[in-house]
Structure 1
Amino acid sequence: MAEAGAHLTSSAALEQPSLFEVLAQESLMEAVRPALRHAVKVLAESNPARFGFLWRRFDELHLLLDLLLQNHFLSHCAASFSENFYGLKRSACGRGLAARPGLSAAARRRSLLLLILVPYLRAKMEATLARQRDEEDFSIRPAPSPGRRLYRAAVAAFPYVSSAWQTWTFCQQLLYVFGRTDTHNPLLWLAGVRLLRLNAADLRDMQAAASSGGSSFLSRAARGVASSLSSSLSLGVFFLQFLDWWFSSDGRGAAESLTALPAPPPPLHLRPPGVADGSCPLCLRPRVNATALSTSGYVFCYRCLYAYVKTNRRCPLTGGPAHLQHLVKIYCPES
């Protein structure tokens, strides 16, 4: 009995991934979102009329794509996309029981909910926090209301909640290193699952499931499409990670040094049609508190530009993507 117990212990230790493996698969998905966001931004700037809606609805579109992707891999591989990419799987755990193969329907639903909803809510809260900081920097004070006070309280509490979450995650990882817990992330603990390495039996089961999916033309075509999509996603992830590094703060110096070009001359006709000198293109009246939009270079009234960019997140004239941090106050010597 003791020998059998020692064998099970050593086998479980071999199946449990190291902290570096689990952190690597987490960094994979964390790098995909900003890189994909930059790719969408480039598309929107190249053709605002056709691809501008992708930029304005990026969070919701990313949520939908993430839902489809994670649901597919959880259903067929018992793992998220990044976990399967690194040869890991999810296994449900009971209280005081060993890991059980596969995922139950309840564990799969909890995993899917936590995988897609938590990053989406966090991104929304961070964007809201940044927008509130911009409003405070521009000295904008909306009319007080119960809903507005609740909104400001939630935004003010978010940094403390985020710090508490990061502290919990760090403690969980520390306990995982010393073997005191089976999960390195609170989300896995909340989902009631743990991560294990794929073994030879798992690979044989996946191949058997793929081969037993039917021999008709439609089933073979579906498997071929799924395989091609998986391979394309793998290559696309590496490409998006490269984009994320290339346009990050660390890689920006190399990108600028290699792609540095002379500044293009200003366009010949800067004045929009029907707009007089010194007038705002939005209200068509003389500009008040002149403010430029750094993404396009056009100058507007501050109030007109702020309200338009906050609502539409694009330049009123060019249609290119824009945010409130792109507003630049113009200080004239005579003003």
Structure 2
Amino acid sequence: MAEGANFAPNLANNPSIFEVSASEVLDNLIYPAFSKIFDYIGLRLNIHVNGTTFSEDLSPAVTFALQYFYLRQRGGSFGESFYGLQRTTTLNEDQISNRKKFLSATLLTLLPYLERKLRQRSTQHEASQWEEYLIKAFHAYNAAKAVNTFLYIAKYSVCHSPILRFLGLKLRYPSKEHREDRASFMILKFLEMMAFFLQFIQWWYSNKQRHKIGGLQNPDAIRKSKLDELHIPKTGICPICLMKISNPTACAVSGYVFCWKCIANQIKHKKKCPVTGYPISIEDLVRIYEN
């Protein structure tokens, strides 16, 4: 009976699944939003090794710094702190150690970054066999996360995430109000205001992609006298290599079908449809499966 009485307050202190899910969504917006900002201003880290230049995105480093700063100051990630949540140990609800703060920030940054990169390589048909295995591992992790979330909703689990379970942590409401010095308070408030800006960046980009095709002007009708000058290939022939299409891939902007390697190489160097001249990106390509 006493055990049940001790367990009830713990459950009462657990945040709802809506707050937990909202904090995860906000955390997942940080990396892609920073990535879009840095791509827009052309800010990248160039590393020179043995005459070879490697260009890497700065977003993961900035995301890690932001998450670690919030974990040190508030005991929770950026999204968790925004919704008034805090990470504590599962058993005693104590504050987490600096080591677990560092691990939490690393996993909050590394897992979304790896999953995003792997999915991009898979979409571009560039993923190796071990990368395909990692993608399947992420599928298994997401399935385990769904099961864990169901157990959390049903009150059979005190943490909603397999990662938190692995770290021996859970989310709860803070028992007392955080008190920071004035400088830290101003920085945290400024970063929390950025949450709305991050959501706007993500919305603007997705909205731009959704209306990308609709915003293009329809091309003028081709006169019959100009058909011979355009040398439009026959059906089943790639407009680039003029050979039989291999791994047919359609361009969602123009509707033409090309060989995958041909159109991927075209986008890499010119970033426009070779037939219509419309600007296109790798996301505009749709693989066509004949069977």
TM-score by length of 2: 0.67
Supply the distance in 2 between the matched residues of 1:70 and 1:105 (Cα, whole angstroms).
13
Secondary structure of 1:194 counterpart: strand
Partner of 2:217: 263
Supply the distance in 2 between the matched residues of 1:27 and 1:14 (Cα, whole angstroms).
23
Is 1:70 aligned with 2:23?
A: no
Supply the distance in 2 between the matched residues of 1:105 and 1:114 (Cα, whole angstroms).
14
* Structure 1 residues 78 and 322, CA gap change in structure 2 (3 angstroms): same
Supply the distance in 1 between the matched residues of 2:116 and 2:264 (Cα, whole angstroms).
22
Secondary structure of 2:76 counterpart: coil
Query: Which runs of no fewer than 5 residues in structure 1 stay unpaired?
Result: 44-49, 136-150, 212-219, 267-276, 279-286, 329-335
TM-score by length of 1: 0.59
Note if contact 1:114-1:191 (Cα within 8 Å) is conserved in structure 2: no
User: Deviation string for 1:49-73 (max 9, x for gaps)?
Assistant: x63869xx99732212211110110
Partner of 1:243: 204
Secondary structure of 1:90 counterpart: strand
Partner of 2:149: 173
Partner of 2:122: 129
More relative contact order, 1 or 2 (CA 8 Å, 6+ apart): 1
CA-CA distance at 1:116 after TM superposition: 0.8
* Structure 1 residues 322 and 107, CA gap change in structure 2 (3 angstroms): same
Supply the distance in 1 between the matched residues of 2:207 and 2:169 (Cα, whole angstroms).
35
Note if contact 2:27-2:77 (Cα within 8 Å) is conserved in structure 1: no
Give the alignment's Cα RMSD to 1 decimal: 4.7
Query: Which runs of no fewer than 5 residues in structure 2 stay unpaired?
Result: 46-53, 221-229, 232-239
Supply the distance in 1 between the matched residues of 2:25 and 2:71 (Cα, whole angstroms).
19
* Structure 1 residues 313 and 84, CA gap change in structure 2 (3 angstroms): farther
Which of 48, 53, 57 is 1:60 aligned to? Answer: 57
Percent sequence identity over aligned pairs: 23
Is 1:29 aligned with 2:27?
A: yes
Q: Compare the two structures and name the one with the higher helix fraction.
A: 1
Match runs of 1:271-286 below 5 Å: none
Partner of 2:17: 19
* Structure 1 residues 65 and 15, CA gap change in structure 2 (3 angstroms): same
Partner of 1:192: 168
Which of 93, 97, 101 is 1:99 aligned to? Answer: 93
AA partner of residue 119 (structure 2): E
AA partner of residue 235 (structure 1): F
